[in-house]
Structure formats: C-alpha cells, structure tokens
Amino acid sequence: MEGKASEEAARHRLAHVIDYLGETDAGTVCAALNEQWVDKFRAWALERPVRTSKGEYLRERSLAHVEGSVMQLAAAINATPGQKAQFKARQQVDVARSPTYRADVKTIAAMFDYCLRPDGGRSDKERAMIAAARTNLLRYLQLAVASWARPETVLAVKRNQWHAAARVLDLNPARRLRTNKRQPMVPIAAQCAALLDAMDDLWIPVSTIRNSWDKMRAHLGLPDDRQAGPKLIRRSMATLVRRRIGEANWRQGEIMLGHVPFVTSDIYAIPDPANLGLVLGATEEIISEIEALAPGAYRTVTAANKGLRLIEGGKNG
C-alpha cells in the first residue's frame, strides 16, 4: 500500500495487531491466525482505550475501531502470495454505531473561534503563540467546511489537485486509483478559493490533527465516543445544506459527497461549478454565517513565503 492515500491508516490499524503479537507470541505465522485467535485479539483490543501520543486517556475503543484492524489484517494476509486469511472480519454495519450528532453553524463557528481566539495565556503574545499552534486545525476546518471531504482526504490535499481557473478541487490525489470510496471533483466556495490559490505544495503539513481536534472537542463540550470526531464537519455540512436546498435538489449533495458513481466523462472534463450551484451557494452562505460569528475564520489567513500565516484575529477582517 506504500504511496497510497490510505497507507497511514493501514499502518495504524496493523500497529494494534503488532502490539498484540508482541505481548503474546511474536513468532505467530499467518496460518495460525484463525477465528479463535482473532476473537482473543478483539477482546484484548477492546480493553485498551484510545490514548494520545503522550498516553493521556481519550475514550474507550469502539467495536468498529477494533474490526478495522481485523479487516486490515485479513487484507494484508490475502495480499501475500501463497497466503489466505483463515478468518472473516465482521461487516462494519454490524459493529458500527452510526453517529447521530450534528453541529449547527454556531457550533462550527465556535471551532473556528477556538483556533483564532484561544482562552488562557498570560499575554497577547502568548495567546498568539497558542493560536499559531492551532493553525493546522484551522486549515482543516476551513477546507473541510468548503469541500465536505473526508478527514483523511483533507489532510492529503496537495497543490496539484487545485484547478484555480475552474475553482474546482480534485479530491482524488494524483496517481491514486479511483475506487468505490469515491473522491469527486468539487466546486470550492469563493471564501476558501483564495486560500487555495495561496497554498504551497501541501494544504496541511501534518498527517493527523486528531490530538488537537480532541482537545477542541473537550473544550467545547462536544459529545465523545465517535459522535464528534473530525468527520463531524462532513456530516454536519451535508445536513445543513440538505435542509437549505431541499430533497428535490439533494442529488447535488450526493455528488458533492462522492456518493454518485463516476462515469467516463468525469475523467476527461472538469466539472462546471454551476452544475452544483445550489450546493455551492448554500456552502458559501454557511461560510458567511461562520465568518459573522467568528470573524477571521477565512479572512485572517494570508499568503506567506512558506505556506499560510496567521495574522492576529480581527485586525484585517
């Protein structure tokens, strides 16, 4: 999987299996990984909560999280010549508890405010330093709201995916095969387009914002237990826009989310933003409302020599 967009996620899933092997029998061979072995792994993994890189407790590990490791292990074994997994992973629909919480515009604006105007700090300089440390989280929020993309997709966006003239972002990275997990080309709100014009090679120079996201979630009192992970922005934007454009026009939302199959013409022709005009207009409207509640959400970030630079909140926008 080296070089694929999902490589990092696969490594994280398999890391739990490696840890289990280290605690039990590191010499275990693929043929010995049967249903009984997998059941023991599941029980072991469920007893280990999710922690930060510093070892701080975050939440209990979910059934879906554990089964993700089982599915990845089966895929790794089946991809090895001469090997076949002797067990079956459970379907995600059987173990996942679909999150029901959605954030309203006011709550999303509070997320931006958390990045731009942090509480605490003994001086303006110290607060500016805290805000600078949250720049990657701010960038995630900006593009996640504008594109509705999955978290891992936002984190992987590069300059060559941005078609500035058409104001369209190709969420499928170059050299990544288009799979059933569709990454569409989407029109980008005007407020965010200017930021993409100014980006360097990478939109976000880190592979994860999970630690900063969890701190923000706790600070704002958002639900835990997967209800309010980074994918909350994608779910919330879809819900907010669906209410605004109505069921009769929701096909545009399905296209924006990547829930509509690709056709050959999608490969050859860059979509016209006008074809998703209702979705784009509603997204721009929501961003304007966020900006009104959290001034500087999109306007306090300007081009610098290296990437994007935060200007102290409110002074230029």
Residue 214 is part of a domain; what is its CATH number? Answer: 1.10.443.10
In a domain, 128, yes or no: yes
Residue 199 and residue 57 in one domain: no
At 55 the pLDDT is: 85
Residue 54 and residue 126 in one domain: no
Residue 47 and residue 157 in one domain: no
Q: What are phi and psi of 60, to 5 degrees?
A: -70, 150
In a domain, 316, yes or no: no
Residue 164 and residue 85 in one domain: no
Most confident range (mean pLDDT) of 93-102, 223-232, 250-259 is 250-259
Residue 146 and residue 262 in one domain: yes
Last residue within a domain, chosen from 95, 113, 143? 95
At 70 the pLDDT is: 95
Q: Which residue bears the tokens 């819900």?
A: 239
Residue 144 and residue 238 in one domain: yes
What pLDDT, in 10s, does the model give residues 149-169? 999 999 999 999 999 999 999
Q: Two tokens at 185?
A: 């080309």
At 187 the pLDDT is: 93
Give the separation between CA 158 and CA 137, rounded to whole angstroms. 17
DSSP helix/strand/coil, 303: strand
Q: Two tokens at 81?
A: 């010549």
If one compares 133 and 317, the residue with the highest pLDDT of the two is 133
Last residue within a domain, chosen from 64, 95, 126? 95
At 93 the pLDDT is: 67
What pLDDT, in 10s, does the model give residues 53-77? 788 887 788 888 899 999 999 999 9
In a domain, 317, yes or no: no
Residue 57 and residue 184 in one domain: no
In a domain, 163, yes or no: yes
In a domain, 171, yes or no: yes
Residue 91 and residue 232 in one domain: no
Give the separation between CA 217 and CA 215, rounded to whole angstroms. 5
Confidence of residue 307 (pLDDT cuts 50, 70, 90): very low
Which of 128-142, 165-179, 295-309 bottoms out in mean pLDDT, i.e. has the lowest? Answer: 295-309
In a domain, 1, yes or no: no
Residue 77 and residue 110 in one domain: no
Confidence of residue 273 (pLDDT cuts 50, 70, 90): low
Residue 192 and residue 256 in one domain: yes
Residue 191 and residue 278 in one domain: yes
Last residue within a domain, chosen from 61, 95, 129? 95
The domain total for the chain is: 2
Q: What is the mean pLDDT of residues 22-33?
A: 92
Asked if 69 contacts 14 with a C-beta cutoff of 8 angstroms, the reply is yes
Q: Which residue bears the tokens 């909350």?
A: 232
Confidence of residue 226 (pLDDT cuts 50, 70, 90): confident
Residue 316 has pLDDT above 50, yes or no: no
Residue 185 and residue 262 in one domain: yes
Asked if 305 contacts 123 with a C-beta cutoff of 8 angstroms, the reply is no
At 263 the pLDDT is: 58
Instruction: Show the domain range for 229.
Output: 105-310
